[in-house]
Structure 1
């Protein structure tokens, strides 16, 4: 049975009304095919219905069986073909299956894409190993004396691989659970409804009502002589698999990739220098937050050279000699490894965009707010459509894409996108920086509270950093929230929810925060914006 509610298609195989109630006429009308005139006004209808019975006793209960596929028996092989199985691809595929679609996913590499295999997850697994090393080093202050310890890189790599394997296997299990077909091979769009897949056994053509392109990205290269990727010049991928700890490392780029990799090696014993062409680390972030994090990372053993660029490099024995240019002039130094961490580039080559006529600017696929390209049946999501290249953004974009394709009027909003760095201390931000807020608003108020005044932070021995609220002085609307400190990459979700729903600082203040927790710092920072912090 296919019911049209507003612009959304509801695909239902069988619905049984277990108990009678006000929704009975609705069910009968759908069952018999009779048009219910005001069914399109479903919100109003449900509002009226909700007052027609005691929800604790009289509410109708529905039993539903698995929904029919959207176009079973149609001329297409699938309702949607998803190219790529990274965060955008696999989440979009599962969401499409939830909507009743027949889904095929094409993957040329490992399921899970960059994030699960050579990005977010293995990076955090290695950072977790480093965190254990730090705990051992500081154990004496907690009454635990460790006389000596050894670093076992093989065991660290094994931990990383176990985590990756568990998660990628989990994605494949979710495909099976949702009856999603996985085809391994290289995909190329042939026409608005056809994808050709080069597999080990030959080329297979797949037809679909819709195509979702989630081809991801690859490490960006620097057009600098001597910095071609190889044994001494690493991308973020090579920085995740090493058999020895380099004595001296140069990281080019002070974004999240450079900082996390640099921190990992610094805590493992490497001499790490980070070169950044801009005037601060994390160039797009709040300036105060960036300065605070930089100071913490310098105390952790990292060195920074800002307003500087690498102009050339050459092999000298087993090392790389690098020329670094800054306002003070040009200098040289030698490193065991150079890590190029200047971001990522969307993977657009050889997927058929130009042949089919999908518009792009050479750097990203162009889409509208529904993630739809200029060809109505082709959508794109994730890194292939450009910044912000974040896994949580990618899967949100893909959900918007498939929901719009199958009749829901979903739109992508980038109003509240959290950005995180997983060093120690961590760093997290959402919304406007203080600098941007002051450019746009006349009256901006700042609320700030330090972890050094928080009981939980002191108890766990991680009291460095703060939480800062950037608010509109007139109405108290939360414009941005910036954090440096323990577990702030988890705490940022509260701030994201607040900005997404246009909450005011007063609603955070009036929300009861549990004690003793790190979340109290957010409440105190919110109170500080009103001049009411209790423990400051």
Structure 2
């Protein structure tokens, strides 16, 4: 078959690219070796949110008396929790199947490989290979759990995120190596269900990409929940011991040994760039990533890449936007689209971590802003002073805003609290529009809401606090 566009990979980058290409008049196919929707829909964003909701329900029941409600005996059916999560993933994957049909996109099931310029070879599960032609080949193969030489994932003693959301039974204890989004989300989930959780983080603080105040707050809250946290520490070796594992942990004060049912490796991801035919075609890579320009064109004409396999934030919403920019740029060059799309501003990408309390951030941290030479105004508003938060019984956390003292430019926002992932987009939009602090304060915020804490934090930054 001959196509205008073939996309290899159907995650939030791949399937979005395929749909946008079809909308713009390209004859399009997408290649997928496992399930439509990729890791995000099947083993990442979506099923983990279902697990986290179950954990939240458990906490609601445990604290029901705080709301004046008495609940009788309750128990966790771990198998049912996992089943619900898998059901959510299956539903979303079927939704992508519908979108492929709706947009008249051919789905080619199998392993995709760039055989030659303008050619994609697809090998199905039976080993049968077919070759398809395409003017434009888009690579969107995503990533997988990263492995350390001394922490190999075997699916039993050492597991990755896929095994963590599909275990046959709930472990009594778990060591989580790494405290990024994956690590702290699973820490919350398993702790809420009753598993003894220990986080081991190599760097000096947990969620190390976040503002330092966010890290301190989450550590305080997690320790209160009973989660043990070890920073400046690394797991050097893991060995099987009985039905569980024994881990040797190197700390600042020496080596210690921890025992648990299982070790979850959550140390990041590695891009899937192998076995795609990139070497033979001469596609440039560096440090395990495909090198692209601002419109996701590789050094080989007609071959593009985006999402987790290129440098930048490995986030689903980033992959989706990169996909759209890539396809619209192709369409513009072929006079199928009216204007050249804007390049992505990677300093204005929202990051969201769905632990409890949630974390959401965008832009500069306070430290980054100062290192960049800005004189800053910083405002911090605690949810303990928010009427909505008090009424909801969700007073943990705060909103922190950072502004340029000279021009009033909104440099960054960092939040930790209930549902803050729903509120961060205000900052993203305002920064895109180059809004100043005064314009935000002049915008009337609804009351009582959690989101008005952003306005309250800005008032604090400028010495105009009303509610604090």
TM-score scaled by structure 1? 0.84
Question: Taking structure 1 as reference, are residues 230 and 451 closer, same or farther at Cα in structure 2, changes over 3 Å only?
Answer: same
Distance 1:416 1:292 in 2: 23
Q: Which residue of 2 aligns with 1:155?
A: 80
Runs of at least 4 residues of structure 1 off by over 4 A?
Answer: none
C-alpha deviation, 1:362, in angstroms = 4.5
Counterpart residue number, 2:322 = 397
Between the aligned partners of 2:260 and 2:8, the Cα distance in structure 1 is 39
Query: Matched residue of 1:402: which SS?
Result: helix
Q: Provide the C-alpha distance between the structure 2 equivalents of 1:442 and 1:315, rounded to a whole number of angstroms.
A: 51
Q: Decide whether the 8 Å contact of 2:246 with 2:260 is kept in 1.
A: yes
Q: Alpha-carbon deviations, 1:393-417, whole Å to 9, x = none?
A: 0111111111111115222321211
CA distance in 1, matches of 2:328, 2:273: 24
Question: How far apart are residue 192 of structure 1 and its match?
Answer: 2.3
- Which one of 375, 380, 383 corresponds to residue 443 of structure 1? 375
Match of 1:529 in 2: 461
Structure 1 residue 310: deviation in Å? 1.1
CA shift at 1:214, angstroms? 0.2
Contact 1:346 1:386 in 2 (8 A): no
Tell me the C-alpha RMSD between the 2 structures: 1.2
Of the two structures, which has the highest relative contact order with CA contacts closer than 8 Å and spacing of 6 or more? 2
SS in 1 for 2:381: strand
Contact 2:176 2:264 in 1 (8 A): yes
- The answer to whether the aligner puts 1:296 opposite 2:221 as a matched pair is yes
Shift of 1:97: 1.0
Residues 347, 364 of structure 2: 8 Å contact kept? no
Secondary structure in 1 matching 2:286: coil
Secondary structure at 2:189's aligned position in 1? Answer: helix
Report the structure number with the largest CA radius of gyration: 1
Contact residue 363 and residue 386 of structure 1 kept, 8 A: no
Q: After TM superposition, give the deviation of residue 515 of structure 1 in Å.
A: 1.0
Give the Cα–Cα distance (whole angstroms) in 2 for the partners of residues 122 and 262 of structure 1: 15
C-alpha deviation, 1:191, in angstroms: 1.9
The answer to whether 1:500 aligns with 2:432 is yes
Q: Does 2:147 match 1:221?
A: yes
1:412 to 2:354 alignment:
no
1:434-466 superposed Cα distances (whole Å, 9 cap, x missing partner): 001111234111011111111111111101111
Aligned mates of 1:316, 1:448 — CA distance in 2: 47
> Could you tell me how far 1:504 is from its partner in structure 2?
1.1
Pairing 1:90-129 to 2, within 5 Å after superposition: 90-129=15-54
Using structure 2 for the length normalisation, give the TM-score.
0.96
Decide which of 257, 270, 274 is 2:195's aligned counterpart: 270
Counterpart CA distance in 2 for 1:298 and 1:445 is: 30
Determine whether 1:242 maps to 2:154: no
For these two proteins, the number of residue pairs brought into alignment is 460
Q: Could you say which residue in structure 2 is the equivalent of 1:327?
A: 252
**Secondary structure in 2 aligned to 1:299?**
helix
Q: Secondary structure in 2 aligned to 1:281?
A: coil
**2:360 corresponding residue in structure 1:** 428
Distance 1:200 1:304 in 2: 44
Q: Where does residue 61 of structure 1 map in the other structure?
A: none
Corresponding residue number in structure 1 for 2:134: 208
Q: Which moved more, 1:192-201 or 1:520-529?
A: 192-201
Match of 1:341 in 2: 266
Contact 1:116–1:168 at 8 Å: present in 2 too? Answer: yes
Unaligned runs of 5+ in 1: 1-75
Unpaired runs of at least 5, structure 2: 333-338
- State the SS of the aligned residue for 2:257: strand
Q: 1:235 deviation in Å?
A: 0.3
Evaluate the alpha carbon distance shift between residue 256 and residue 423 of structure 1 in structure 2; reply closer, same or farther with a 3 A threshold: same
Q: Distance in 1 between matches of 2:27 and 2:425?
A: 33
Alpha-carbon displacement from aligned partner over 1:68-115 (angstroms, at most 9, x marks no partner): xxxxxxxx7111000000000001111111111111000001111000
Q: 2:99 aligns with which of 174, 179, 185?
A: 174
Residue 198 of structure 1 pairs with residue 119 of structure 2: no
CA distance, structure 2, for counterparts of residue 310 and residue 406 of structure 1 = 49
Match of 2:299 among 360, 371, 374: 374
Q: Distance in 2 between matches of 1:230 and 1:81?
A: 33
Q: How much has 1:285 moved relative to structure 2?
A: 1.2
